[in-house]
Amino acid sequence: MRCRFVLLAAAPALASPAWSTVYLTVDQAKTALFPGVALVRDDRTLSDAQAAAIRSRSGVSVHSRDVHSWRAPDGARLIVDQVLGTHETITLALALDPAGAVRGLEILDYRESYGGQVRDPAWRAQFTGKRDGAPLELGRDIRNNSGGTLSARHVADGVRRLLATERIVFAQH
């Protein structure tokens, strides 16, 4: 009877492993994506019309009206945002050049127990040069990674949404 109690008591710990990896802080991402560049904080709060326009343009819902952004002197931009992985959020940093094309993508915080392949540099490099309007469809435009399909799809969707956000909220067109 005693052994059964010990096994049952340990079962919840075995059934729900906690996992979270912080790869970079926001400051480390700024340094990695914009080495030697002084970025200026440029946060925005989306209006209802902007959120609707972003949804319409990207096909992805806006979950937070707060856009955390930094601007470089040449007009390049860093946006830090979160997307849903499989069950938990993934924090990412998207660097855009002055014309709004992806300059780099970093995964800052990953909270899932699997699917961390979205952190792979070769996988993230697929986004470099992509612009607003690029479909960024997983399995077609963006290569999938085994074991992390939902995380990969949601990161791709998040990048597509942030490219639309840059175009609608920040671009001087």
For the stretch 79-138, pLDDT in tens is 999 998 777 888 999 999 999 999 999 999 888 766 667 888 998 999 999 999 998 998
* Spatial CA neighbour of 77 closest among 59, 54, 100, 50: 100
Query: What is the pTM assigned to this prediction?
Result: 0.86
Residue 57 clears pLDDT 90, i.e. is over it: yes
pLDDT recorded at residue 171? 85
* Spatial CA neighbour of 170 closest among 84, 61, 94: 94
- Alpha-carbon 119 to chain mean position: 10
Residue tagged 């992985």 (tokens): 85
* Spatial CA neighbour of 42 closest among 169, 173, 172, 167: 169
pLDDT recorded at residue 114? 62
Residue type, 49: A
d(CA 99, CA 85) in angstroms, rounded, equals 29
d(CA 68, CA 63) in angstroms, rounded, equals 13
d(CA 169, CA 138) in angstroms, rounded, equals 25
pLDDT recorded at residue 26? 97
pLDDT recorded at residue 18? 43
Q: What is the mean pLDDT of the chain?
A: 86
